[in-house]
Structure 1
Amino acid sequence: MVNAHCADAMICISNCDKITPGMLMAAMRLNIPAVFVSGGPMEAGKVVAPEAKPDLENIKVIDVRNMTKNITKLDLVDAMVVAADPDASNDKVAQYERSACPTCGSCSGMFTANSMNCLTEAIGLSLPGNGSLLATHADRKQLFLDAAKTIVKITERYYKDGDESILPRGIAGKKAFLNAMTLDIAMGGSTNTILHLLATAQEAEVDFTLNDIDSLSRKVPQLCKVAPNTQQYHMEDVHRAGGIMNILAELDRVDLLYTDLPTVHSPTLKDAINRYDLMNNPSEPITTFFRAAPAGIPTQTAFSQDVRFPSVDDDRKNGCIHSYEHAFSKEGGLAVLFGNLAEDGCVVKTAGVDESI
């Protein structure tokens, strides 16, 4: 399509599981200026405790703006689990089904779509917040506008100044793929991301293999545990804790990233991390950005609300994002296994495996 229309540059608007990796592969193949911006994650579903006795006939989702207790967060998987539970009442199943997917956007947890959108931040092809900012929030409209401004700037840099460092292959080299996988392991992302990153690296002609991933999995800690690995945290909570830039900041503090790499929005990844790091730069514009919150109202309209959390989550011991010192585990949320059952390797999402195993 892009070749047929002789496009000089492109904005890749993606969201679902296969769309983001498909567009990443196309960007590497075409190697023209490109910026990624996703539709964003949906708000997590919320249900109240049984004693609250909600009106199950009329309820679509619980309005949580003024509620602080008796709330359970959930996503589509929770609805599937409760529907398969023979001990669950029909009322409970109905409540979960009605509340699981309350808004537009990709799934509310760290599933494939959101994982891939987060990885575009680590690679350097999307703006900060791309992976975590809610689809319903007005701030995402500004993200789209900023992406439009960015593509104009980098297109001019390439065609006018001959700057090839801002082309997809100039940004997404071997070190950028290692950064993306480091993030994926630290945040306990979807195992599908490994397939997609390997395919994208092949299009970029980058030598990135399962052996690289295996090596990273043994030294990268798990700093984040998000649905479906827990009901406590969803993508809206990742954003409140500083989003992907703050997971990267924690990794950078223990020298697990290559930060001297260019991005579409900043001279280097290090510059971006320094600007968005809540622990070192809790400036008003940055904290306001990360306080973007769910409205708790069912809607299929993007950019339709501007609710904010009262504060950001900067608790790196017990919050959504942990520091290295307080990591969930010193080895990451994904692991590559080799053996007689998988001679060429297989992948396990250790973030979702019980500690006793």
Structure 2
Amino acid sequence: MTTHKKTPDTLRSARWFAPDDLRGFGHRSRAMQMGYAPEEWAGRPVIGIVNTWSDINPCHTHFKQRVEDVKRGVLQAGGFPIELPALSLAEQYVKPTTMLYRNMLAMDAEELLRCHPVDGVVLMGGCDKTTPALLMGATSAGLPAIYVPAGPMLRGNWQGHTLGSGSDAWKFWDDRRAGIITEQQWIGIQGGIARSHGTCMTMGTASTMTAIAEALGMTLPGASSIPAPDANHVRMSSESGRRIVEMVWEDLTPARIQTRKAFENAITVAMAMGCSTNAIIHVIAQGRRAGHDISLDDFEKASRKVPVIANVRPSGDKYLMEDFFYAGGLPAMMTRIREHLHLDEMTVTGRTLGQNIEGAAVYNDDVIRTVENPVYAEGSLAVLRGNLAPDGCVMKPGAADPRFLKHSGPALVFDDYPSMKAAIDDENLDVTADHVLILRNAGPQGGPGMPEWGMLPIPKKLVKQGVRDMVRLSDARMSGTSYGACILHVSPESYVGGPLGLVRNGDIITLDVDARTISLDVDDAELQRRRAEWRQPERRYERGYGWMFSKHIEQADQGCDFDFLRTDFGAPVREPDIF
């Protein structure tokens, strides 16, 4: 794309800096107060760099330096870079969950762009919720935008074991609970599982969402696969800075890139990657911000036709994101599912997706499989429905013990996380491996914020017997690095009166993944009687952001956006106004 639609006098930033009036004087004089000369901004695109670095976000540690690489690229291309610090959501530290604050970061990003004199934006994120949040905010703002993914960290290592963040933490924690791992070994694992800056190097939510950003067309080709410490990451950052300046002149906005077909590409890629279950919530929210009616049905449709071909943990058996990068990365993987992609979709490069992946090659057929030799014959996620989840729930079949893909068992119900946690370590708990563990009141409103509690721990009694998987059911989420027969995002959630709130200990739960069904084997009359007795739990927040969240959050099947931020389907995204 070479036709420049913008001229210096039509730049958005010119509305601040160009007018020969008192307000224009104020803007120019304050820029000069900071040491900038008029030659640095006059007639040049002002590029906002929304940076989610913080001292307590290990995924983004390197952003303190990478932002300088982005600025270098912007300056090389004739732009004027300004860094705009935004809320930094560190998955490991934020309680009760970063999901509570995804929409807050989306609002932060949108308003930063709306109120400042910027013509385009470089979005710097990567840790789980930062990718969807930044893209949601930029989509609503409507300015040219390009995404710079943080990149995965290096492989973990401990005593000859290759460790994957999250996945191996759960595995070795169960071994420690069973008395197999010593305290000294546990300390060694802690020091070896995360050896560099960057996001989880398993196919968790971070790598899932950055791959989705690339498949959408919002990153440079291959950007999502580059390990954070790799020199290629530095070069990608500066190239993104150069490219956003060109995008401003071309007026290449998210609305021109994020079509419905682009979202279908993103869902297809997610399925082939062995994606995190969280992808469903985030992509639905992102799609609806862009004006598209993306739903669970889109995921279910893709799941039935697109196999998992990325052999990356936890869906894969041994490889990590570093291996995926060496094997050719996302462009190479996309060449193997070409027939499922809309290759004519525009991307931030000004070229189509098909042009971006032309010539990409796979260098390891075990890391990136062929569709004839997949890791899992169907897509990464399955959408289940039934009287327990009228609006749907989600499972990752490839990461579960196959014997649980068709299962009936008695329910063991917990109404909140503390009571579940206390009971799980009780070695006298009346539980067998056939039980279905249920956690409720952990959804969008009930959590609140839908914490990652869905991978309920295996009861200690069973762990000592060698049990490592069982069916677990909740209206919560789970980490993308998690695994097991976990059924999540039950909608509507129990807190608002969903059927999950009516289950009692001993009720039989029946699961059939092939049929995509989940049911509570209790007759309608009994359920009606229980519903009449049901009472909503008390709210946890009575003030501030938490109160606002609880009042306005939508259900999981709708993407968990705020009801007042959703774009009406098909409505154009309005340019930000200036008063």
- TM-score > 0.5, shorter chain as reference: yes
Distance 2:144 2:213 in 1: 15
CA contact (8 A) 1:191 1:334 kept: yes
CA distance in 2, matches of 1:155, 1:230: 40
Q: Deviations over 1:268-290 (max 9, x none)?
A: 10001114x115xxxxxxxxxxx
**Which whole-Å CA distance do the structure 1 matches of 2:352 and 2:170 have between them?**
43
Equivalence for 2:364: 315
- Alpha-carbon contact 2:311-2:317 (below 8 Å) kept: no
Q: Which secondary structure does the structure 1 equivalent of 2:114 belong to?
A: coil
Q: Tell me how far apart the structure 1 counterparts of residues 390 and 170 of structure 2 sit (CA, whole Å).
A: 33
Structure 1 counterpart SS, 2:261: helix
Q: 2:145 aligns with which of 30, 34, 41?
A: 34
- Residue 240 in 1 paired to residue 326 in 2? yes
Alignment partners' CA distance in 2, 1:271 and 1:328 = 27
Tell me how far apart the structure 2 counterparts of residues 190 and 142 of structure 1 sit (CA, whole Å): 28
* Structure 2 counterpart of 1:3, from 114, 128, 131: 114
Q: Which residue of 2 aligns with 1:345?
A: 392
CA distance in 2, matches of 1:270, 1:202: 25
Q: What amino acid does structure 2 have at the position aligned with 1:328? A: V
**Distance in 2 (alpha carbons) for counterparts of 1:123 and 1:110:** 18
Q: TM-score, normalised by structure 1?
A: 0.78
Q: In the superposition, relative to structure 1, how do residues 94 and 117 fare at CA in structure 2: closer, same or farther (>3 Å)?
A: same
Write the letter of the residue equivalent to 2:163. K
Question: What TM-score results when the alignment is normalised by the length of structure 2?
Answer: 0.49
List aligned pairs for 1:261-340, cutoff 5 A: 261-275=345-359, 277-278=360-361, 314-316=363-365, 319-340=366-387
Structure 1 letter corresponding to 2:227? L
Distance 2:213 2:162 in 1: 30
d(CA) in 2 for partners of 1:216, 1:84 = 34
CA–CA distance in structure 2, aligned partners of residues 101 and 267 of structure 1: 36
Q: What amino acid is aligned across from residue 201 of structure 1 in structure 2?
A: G
In the TM superposition, what whole-angstrom CA distance separates every residue of 1:242-263 from its partner, at most 9, and x where no partner exists?
A: 11111111000xx111001111
C-alpha contact (below 8 Å) 1:217/1:335 kept by paired residues:
yes
> 1:81 Cα shift?
3.0
1:187 to 253, 273, 277: 273
Query: How far did residue 351 of structure 1 move?
Result: 2.5
2:312 to 223, 226, 230: 226
Tell me which amino acid in the other structure corresponds to 1:278: A
Instruction: Tell me, in whole angstroms, the C-alpha distance in 2 between the residues paired with 1:135 and 1:251.
Output: 26
Alignment CA distance shift 1:351-1:266 (3 Å): farther
Report how far residue 90 of structure 1 moved: 2.4
Q: Where does 1:1-357 land on structure 2 (aligned, <5 Å)?
A: 1-49=112-160, 71-85=161-175, 86-158=179-251, 166-230=252-316, 232-252=318-338, 255-275=339-359, 277-278=360-361, 314-316=363-365, 319-356=366-403, 357=405
- Superposed displacement of residue 171, structure 1: 0.5
Q: CA deviation at 1:354?
A: 2.3
Within 2, Cα distance between the matches of 1:349 and 1:75? 18
Secondary structure in 2 matching 1:131: helix
Gaps of 5+ in 2: 1-111, 406-579
Look up the match of 1:60: none
**CA deviation map 1:167-219 (0-9, x unaligned):** 10111111000100001111111111110110011111112111111111111
- Rounded to whole Å, the distance in 2 between the matches of 1:150 and 1:171 is 15
1:61 maps to: none
What SS does the corresponding residue of 2:225 show, helix, strand or coil?
A: coil
Q: Distance in 2 between matches of 1:131 and 1:154?
A: 20
Q: Output the aligned Cα RMSD.
A: 1.5
Unaligned runs of 5+ in 1: 50-70, 159-165, 280-313
How far apart, CA to CA, are the structure 2 residues paired with 1:72 and 1:38?
24
Contact 1:225 1:351 survives alignment (8 Å): no
For the Cα contact (< 8 Å) 1:79–1:93, is it kept in 2? no
- Aligned partners of 2:204 and 2:163: how far apart in 1? 16
CA contact (8 A) 2:167 2:313 kept: no
Whether the aligned pair in 2 keeps the contact of 1:76 and 1:101 (CA below 8 Å) is no
Identity %: 34
Q: Cα offset for 1:40?
A: 1.1
Q: Which has the higher contact order (CA 8 A, sep 6+)?
A: 1
Shift of 1:330: 2.6
Regions of 4+ moved over 6 Å: none
